[in-house]
Amino acid sequence: MITHRDIRPLIFGEVLFDHFPDGSNILGGAPFNVAWHLQAFGHSPLFISRVGNDRPGEEIRSAMQAWGMDLSGLQFDTVHATGSVEVTFSEGEPRYEIIRQRAYDFIDETELPVIAGSTLLYHGSLALRHVISAKALAEVHRRTAAPLFVDINLRSPWWEIKSVQQMLGKARWIKLNEEELRLIVPGAIGDKQLLSGLLTDQTEFVALTRGAKGASIISNSRTYDVRPQPTLTFVDAVGAGDAFCSVLLAGIIRQWPLSLTIERAQQFASAVVGIRGATSRDRELYEYFIDAWKD
């Protein structure tokens, strides 16, 4: 019998540095953030991406190694620089200027690592903005036929509705936020109707994050809602959705009930808004939840 210890998450896509107005530079990129959290929670993800022959690329490799992450899926690019994003804030919400033609756009299908065993595949939409990385992702799909978790994660102007619809057509699990929901399912009235429009026979659930208003999970049979705790230390919302997503993946792998999964996902996302950026090297942050969530 396959248990959660036998299932390895494959995380495909961007890794970069988020540059904040206060001058701080924090490791980021939605797939990287998810992989970082899953590693801390004991799920040993295989992260597939690409960094440049530069100082940020070396810092990423060193950070992953120190965190205990598998480096076999991290490619090395001698032409293109490591990814970077300029982060600004508008009414407390982050805005991202994502630099084009970066190393993660050129993930090479000929340099993919060996992938074996039972797997679950996660990726977002930014992984598809360049044809080379899109081909590498298609090759991962071909090799594994792994069930797919899609984190919509739209970043203007780097997405097209056609490619998003193709992703959704393959997905078993979907996560997105309110703004993204209205962009890809226009015309419906109310979040529940919008979410229902994304459900197909193969979709197990759609998860919707609403920032300070909480989150919802809808399946073909049930809907669960959760709100964040009212007393929080707030620093920024960068990476909160990725934190939420990482716990959704952990819940899938560990076969938690949906009601418990969304509750735990919201708890962890609420903690991440209390730190600068999307990732933390403070193991105590994770140990608190590991202790609280013992199966």
- Quote the CA–CA distance of 88 and 237 in Å, as a whole number: 11
Per residue in 26-72, pLDDT tens?
888 999 999 999 999 999 999 999 999 999 999 999 999 999 999 99
Give the residue-averaged pLDDT of 169-191.
81
Reply yes or no on whether the pLDDT at 156 is more than 80: no
Q: Which of the residue ranges 241-245, 272-276, 284-288 would you say has the lowest mean pLDDT?
A: 272-276
Per residue in 201-236, pLDDT tens?
788 999 999 888 889 998 888 889 998 876 567 777
Q: Which of the residue ranges 13-22, 59-68, 185-194, 217-226 would you say has the lowest mean pLDDT?
A: 185-194
Q: What percent of the chain has pLDDT over 70?
A: 92
- Quote the CA–CA distance of 98 and 19 in Å, as a whole number: 10
C-alpha atoms less than 13 angstroms from C-alpha of 160 in its C-beta half-sphere: 6
Domain boundaries along the sequence of the chain: 4-292
Beta strands at 83-90 and 93-98: parallel, antiparallel or unpaired: antiparallel
Per residue in 95-119, pLDDT tens?
778 888 999 999 999 999 999 888 9
Reply yes or no on whether the pLDDT at 163 is more than 90: no
Tell me phi and psi for residue 205, to 5 degrees: -160, 160
- Quote the CA–CA distance of 48 and 40 in Å, as a whole number: 17
- Quote the CA–CA distance of 293 and 247 in Å, as a whole number: 11
* Diameter of the chain measured on Cα atoms: 50
Structure tokens at 98: 């994502």
- Quote the CA–CA distance of 261 and 251 in Å, as a whole number: 5
Q: Which CATH class is domain 4-292?
A: alpha beta
In this predicted structure, what is the pLDDT of residue 188?
Answer: 56
Residue 235 gets the label, from left (phi > 0), alpha (psi -120 to 50) or beta, of: alpha
Cis peptide before 230 (omega within 30 of 0): no
Residue with tokens 């989150």: 215
In this predicted structure, what is the pLDDT of residue 278?
Answer: 74
Q: Which of 58, 117, 107, 52 is nearest to 81 (CA)?
A: 52
Task: Say if CB 32 and CB 15 are below 8 A apart.
Answer: yes
Task: Say if CB 251 and CB 261 are below 8 A apart.
Answer: yes
Higher pLDDT, 75 or 198: 75
In this predicted structure, what is the pLDDT of residue 109?
Answer: 97
Q: Which of 161, 148, 156 is nearest to 96 (CA)?
A: 156
Give the residue-averaged pLDDT of 261-284.
88
In this predicted structure, what is the pLDDT of residue 194?
Answer: 66
Question: In which band, very low, low, confident or very high, does the pLDDT at 1 lie, cut at 50, 70 and 90?
Answer: very low
In this predicted structure, what is the pLDDT of residue 51?
Answer: 97
Per residue in 115-137, pLDDT tens?
988 899 999 988 888 999 999 99
Question: In which band, very low, low, confident or very high, does the pLDDT at 295 lie, cut at 50, 70 and 90?
Answer: low
CA-only gyration radius of the chain, Å: 18
Give the residue-averaged pLDDT of 268-278.
84
In this predicted structure, what is the pLDDT of residue 2?
Answer: 39
In this predicted structure, what is the pLDDT of residue 4?
Answer: 52
CB neighbourhood size of 178 (10 A) = 14
User: Sign of the C-alpha dihedral, residues 68, 70, 71, 73?
Assistant: negative
Reply yes or no on whether the pLDDT at 5 is more than 70: no
Question: In which band, very low, low, confident or very high, does the pLDDT at 191 lie, cut at 50, 70 and 90?
Answer: low
In this predicted structure, what is the pLDDT of residue 140?
Answer: 96
